Structure 1
Amino acid sequence: MGGPAAVDTGGSQAYAHLIDHSRPWWKNRRLLVLNCWVALLLITSSTNGYDGSMMNGLQSLDQWKVAFNFPSGGKLGLLNAIQNIGCLAAYPFSPYVSDGFGRRAAVILGALIMCAATVLQTASHSVGMFIGARFMIGFGLTFAASAAPVLVTEIAYPSIRGPATSLYNALWFLGSIIAAWTTYGTFHVPSSWAWRIPSAIQALPSVLQVMFMWFAPESPRWLCSKGRDQEALRTLAYYHANGNMEDPLVEYEFEEIKAAIKFDREVAANVGWSSFIKTPGNRRRLRIMIGIAFFSQWSGNNLISYYMNQIFTAIGITDPTTQLLINGLLNIYNFIIAISAGLLCDRIGRRPMFITSTIGMLVFYVLQTVCFALYSVHGNLTAAHAFIAMIFLFYGFYDIAFTPLIVSYTVEILPFALRAKGFTIFNFALTLSLIFNQYVNPIALKALGWKYYLVYDCWLCFEAVFIYLFLIETKNRTLEETAALFDGDDTAEKLAEEAAKHAGIAPTSESPSEKANTSREEVVEELRI
């Protein structure tokens, strides 16, 4: 059998005995192509990361401040928040585009809108034009960002699905790094091109997607949901088994997808928005999704992400070059930790990573508060320098879970019928929390100074308790099996039995770990019989 190999990262146990380990993944051309499509989808997150870091850097550029009449307070908050207001405006439409026209079409639509918006932003000659362009960027980003991680999850090779989807949010920092060093590099450009160059570069991920996404594979789950079963089977076979539609892995995946979609239609026929509050399982999903969405933005991280120059000025670091340099180094540091954590998610597990991340953030945010207070009250320069170190340590723990896992965890706990709508709810909650922060943070920081940090100290205590009580481990389960954790243990067994029956694999009472030890040759022989 010609199925591709992949490094088994401890992923879905149900597929472990079906994966061909006869050759390494990098020698399989079609798997390499699939991973390139995954990478093209992952850079959607880089657009968002670029935006936040670019706006942070522009606030240190005199050329930008002069061009827009030294924005501060509410005006500065609007300049930062308008992109997310644009995101909010698109949320009522994005799930219908993704579910109705396909994941791929939604990504292309979003990329086209962002390309046009970036041209407008680069050409801006007034603050109103700049704000309008940023609104358009947010509007387009919603379509692309709502579909891209879902498509990654639904096309990725089984053994790398968890790490691949976890890399989505981690690549936020790739865009952030590029923006940070671009603004650092254009700092000495004497004209308005000091901020126009970073604005133009923001379009790069969208340009790549407009050029190549037309040729990317569509989600097999979406194809099956539209009755296009043969297209779905061909897609799975082409990328997961070198075109062999009788490969046991492909047959199992295909039948499991069909069984899951059939189950959703029969048992959860009503897949409207009200479905999220109708059953205990969906209410648990909703609580977790909204919780981690708000935690990802309300952990104190956005004080540095969007208002770094104000924080640094408050602790005596006023040189713009130094501010931009620290911003650039911080983003590289964040990127390395987030990527590493994302790749380890299937080995360590989601719940331990979230708990470790939250407790670590609490400890080092309290220490940031102490350092900020010592400098503000006593003028202690050592405390100011220690504050910078605490920022790096705080972000190190933030990056363990709240960068790589919030998107992948949200997508994998949602059943197919609710996945697009549920991910929209998650993004809506995240954007609301972000907009609130962007408006409130500069005002509260100016009014309260270091005392504002106490608010986040208390909130982080609440986060730690919430994560410990409510977060559920999803490691080593397929997308379809994860439903058992929320909807009852019988759900996954029914789906697995249905998939095995249609794929020609006899039901077995073996545990997942025992099934993982079954040889591929035995499965192939069983299918032949």
Structure 2
Amino acid sequence: MLQKTGTGTWLPAWVPETTSTISILLLISSIVQSATGGYDGSMLNGLNILPSYTGYFNLNNGTTGLNTASVFIGGFLGPLVSGVMADRLGRRPAIFWGSAMTIVGVILQTAAQNIAMFVVARIILGFGSAISGIAGGVYLAETFPSRWRAWGVGLLNDFYYVGALIAAGITLGTGQWQSTWAWRAPSLFQAIFSLLCILTLPFIPESPRWLVRQGYYAEARVSVAQTNANGSLSDPVVIAIFKEIVDTLKWEKENVHDMTAVEIFRSPSARKRLLIGMSPGPFSCIAGNIIASYYFGSELDTAGITNTNDQLKANVVLNVWCLACCLIGTHLIARWGRKPTAMLSQILLSACLFIIGGLSKIYASNPHGASSSLVYGNVAVMFLFQGFYSIAWTPLLYLYPPEIMNYSMRANGMAFSSFVLNAFALVFTFIMPIGLGNIGWKMYMINASWDLVILGLIAYYWVETKGKTLEEIDALFEGEKHSSVPDIEKVRRGQKEIDTVVVEEQLTAELGPVSIKH
């Protein structure tokens, strides 16, 4: 059964009765950016070796790079407006418009007649993907119950490898076609993720926190009930969560207000939240993943794996391995916490880079006399490195930032985090090959040393958010919780009780008689 639910926006909702069904739909609606991104990268890797693609556009090294990298131009521009869109239009409408723009970009990319059309299409595609990805991360963090948030939001970026695997399979299948559809068909299929998202949006509720901030209190309470207690408005957990949201957002409205990018930097507490919240982006870039990704193909060539099909198969195996590792990492994040999992990943990454650097030094000293076991050992450690990276950084990139940032800065803060991530990725993409070319194996050692510094920063500055609602995380930064209700997970587990009658009276006194707005 579906229940017509108010959303406070032009986009209506008919929401299922069971919380588990809603949670699955929530996840489907928000995997767009990572699945689209993973698909895009894997698809372009495949297309760049297809004569039907390179010959059609008469590509050289410069235009190949332009065609491939143009999606990042849109990725830079999208964060400039995504925060404002998510705050003003609502989380679901922002995801909708981002997905719609992505579909427009995909259609234009598929129909491209020349390089200019292809590049413009990919800019639009990247722009839409950035908007839907940022809005999706904020939406999931605000809507998933705290006990499932690690999985709900962590899987958002894990689906990068799902998209990559699908693209690898499709490009392998169409690569033998003797027409331009060898590359147009994989391109067109890229729209499936955004289309699936748009079809799902009418069956999920709006973010309860956005609804409270806009004054849609009854709708917000219904949203909390639907995502936590199968729609039961009288459930003690629902009442406690709703009261906590109302109290916290009331305090923010009176003391913080909506924070623009400039205002975020003026407040010491907001600056601290922003710096910690955005740190997964640059930390993941500095970790060394760019080196491993950049040199994986060269390592395979060196190992004697030069056949194109064999390299594509190795890439599929790598994506399967990384998918398995990021799922294991998401489980660890849910069980151990964000901080311990990130520290474990950093330790493993540093060890791998030191080993790769050592093996590369031995190989560089005598490349012609190097044994195959040395080269294959280096490739094996590369595989391990990519997997260890996926344990923490793949799920944390979208999970940790919205947890750390409060409502007033969450959307703009997530946009800034995405912008910084793209900026660091661009810088390190240029720096790493130059460093490797000039100092060779020493670059691995330097990168491993950076990772140890990051390990120290995580250990000292990061705060643990496991098992806390977004409002309870405020106490870690503000020194106090802005609501009188007990911690939600303690109420859920029966360790704490609330007097629902008293809380209902407090809500009535604070909000007045609450009715559904139309």
TM normalised by structure 1 equals: 0.84
Please show how residues 57-76 of structure 1 align to structure 2 within 5 Å: 57-72=46-61, 75-76=63-64
Q: Is the 8 A contact 1:315 1:376 kept in 2?
A: no
The answer for the alignment partner of 1:81 in structure 2 is: 69
Once residues 83 and 127 of structure 1 are traced to their aligned partners in structure 2, the CA distance between those partners, rounded to angstroms, is: 13
Please show how residues 24-35 of structure 1 align to structure 2 within 5 Å: 30-35=18-23
Is 1:300 aligned to residue 276 of structure 2? no
**1:195 to 1:444, Cα distance in 2 relative to 1, 3 A:** farther
The answer for the alignment partner of 2:494 in structure 1 is: 518
1:166 to 151, 154, 163: 154
Once residues 55 and 65 of structure 1 are traced to their aligned partners in structure 2, the CA distance between those partners, rounded to angstroms, is: 11
Q: Is the 8 A contact 1:30 1:238 kept in 2?
A: yes
The answer for the alignment partner of 1:390 in structure 2 is: 381
Please show how residues 146-165 of structure 1 align to structure 2 within 5 Å: 146-165=134-153
The answer for the alignment partner of 2:343 in structure 1 is: 355
Once residues 286 and 469 of structure 2 are traced to their aligned partners in structure 1, the CA distance between those partners, rounded to angstroms, is: 31
Once residues 525 and 225 of structure 1 are traced to their aligned partners in structure 2, the CA distance between those partners, rounded to angstroms, is: 24
The answer for the alignment partner of 1:46 in structure 2 is: 35
Is 1:113 aligned to residue 70 of structure 2? no
Q: Shift in Å at residue 264 of structure 1?
A: 0.7
Equivalenced residue count is 486
**1:98 to 1:175, Cα distance in 2 relative to 1, 3 A:** same
**1:110 to 1:387, Cα distance in 2 relative to 1, 3 A:** same
Q: Shift in Å at residue 167 of structure 1?
A: 1.2
Secondary structure at the counterpart of residue 306 of structure 2: coil
1:144 to 120, 132, 137: 132
Is 1:229 aligned to residue 226 of structure 2? no
Q: Is the 8 A contact 2:46 2:168 kept in 1?
A: yes
Q: Shift in Å at residue 277 of structure 1?
A: 2.4
1:180 to 143, 157, 168: 168
Secondary structure at the counterpart of residue 317 of structure 1: coil
Q: Is the 8 A contact 2:71 2:125 kept in 1?
A: yes
Q: Shift in Å at residue 438 of structure 1?
A: 4.2
1:435 to 426, 431, 437: 426
Name stretches of at least 5 consecutive residues in structure 1 with no aligned partner. Answer: 1-27, 501-507
1:313-357 CA-partner distances (Å, limit 9, x unpaired): 355432111111111011111111212221332311111111110
The answer for the alignment partner of 1:503 in structure 2 is: none
**1:223 to 1:520, Cα distance in 2 relative to 1, 3 A:** same
Q: Shift in Å at residue 416 of structure 1?
A: 0.8
The answer for the alignment partner of 1:378 in structure 2 is: 366
The answer for the alignment partner of 2:118 in structure 1 is: 130
Q: Is the 8 A contact 1:86 1:134 kept in 2?
A: yes
The answer for the alignment partner of 1:278 in structure 2 is: 266
1:254-275 CA-partner distances (Å, limit 9, x unpaired): 1111111111111213522123
The answer for the alignment partner of 2:3 in structure 1 is: none
Q: Is the 8 A contact 1:55 1:306 kept in 2?
A: no
**1:302 to 1:216, Cα distance in 2 relative to 1, 3 A:** same
Once residues 334 and 365 of structure 1 are traced to their aligned partners in structure 2, the CA distance between those partners, rounded to angstroms, is: 17
The answer for the alignment partner of 1:259 in structure 2 is: 247
Secondary structure at the counterpart of residue 474 of structure 1: coil
Once residues 469 and 67 of structure 1 are traced to their aligned partners in structure 2, the CA distance between those partners, rounded to angstroms, is: 53
What letter is aligned with 1:67? Y
Is 1:242 aligned to residue 230 of structure 2? yes
Once residues 519 and 177 of structure 1 are traced to their aligned partners in structure 2, the CA distance between those partners, rounded to angstroms, is: 44
Is 1:475 aligned to residue 475 of structure 2? no
Q: Is the 8 A contact 1:108 1:210 kept in 2?
A: yes
Secondary structure at the counterpart of residue 217 of structure 1: coil
- RMSD value, Cα: 2.8
Once residues 516 and 83 of structure 1 are traced to their aligned partners in structure 2, the CA distance between those partners, rounded to angstroms, is: 44
**1:150 to 1:513, Cα distance in 2 relative to 1, 3 A:** closer
Higher relative contact order (Cα pairs below 8 Å, separated by 6+ residues) = 1
What letter is aligned with 1:465? G
Q: Is the 8 A contact 1:81 1:435 kept in 2?
A: no
Q: Shift in Å at residue 459 of structure 1?
A: 3.1
The answer for the alignment partner of 2:13 in structure 1 is: none
Q: Is the 8 A contact 1:60 1:309 kept in 2?
A: no
The answer for the alignment partner of 1:213 in structure 2 is: 201
Q: Shift in Å at residue 378 of structure 1?
A: 2.3
Please show how residues 335-346 of structure 1 align to structure 2 within 5 Å: 335-346=323-334
Once residues 205 and 270 of structure 2 are traced to their aligned partners in structure 1, the CA distance between those partners, rounded to angstroms, is: 30
Is 1:95 aligned to residue 83 of structure 2? yes
Q: Shift in Å at residue 85 of structure 1?
A: 1.4
What letter is aligned with 1:81? A
Once residues 187 and 105 of structure 2 are traced to their aligned partners in structure 1, the CA distance between those partners, rounded to angstroms, is: 10
What letter is aligned with 2:452? C
Is 1:410 aligned to residue 401 of structure 2? yes
Percent identity (aligned): 32
Secondary structure at the counterpart of residue 301 of structure 1: helix
Q: Is the 8 A contact 1:103 1:218 kept in 2?
A: yes
1:354-382 CA-partner distances (Å, limit 9, x unpaired): 11101111111222233344445423222
Is 1:55 aligned to residue 31 of structure 2? no
The answer for the alignment partner of 2:476 in structure 1 is: 485
Once residues 77 and 311 of structure 1 are traced to their aligned partners in structure 2, the CA distance between those partners, rounded to angstroms, is: 21
Q: Is the 8 A contact 1:315 1:372 kept in 2?
A: no
Deviates more, 1:432-441 or 1:158-167: 432-441
Q: Shift in Å at residue 454 of structure 1?
A: 4.7
The answer for the alignment partner of 1:312 in structure 2 is: 300
Once residues 205 and 400 of structure 1 are traced to their aligned partners in structure 2, the CA distance between those partners, rounded to angstroms, is: 24
**1:227 to 1:402, Cα distance in 2 relative to 1, 3 A:** same
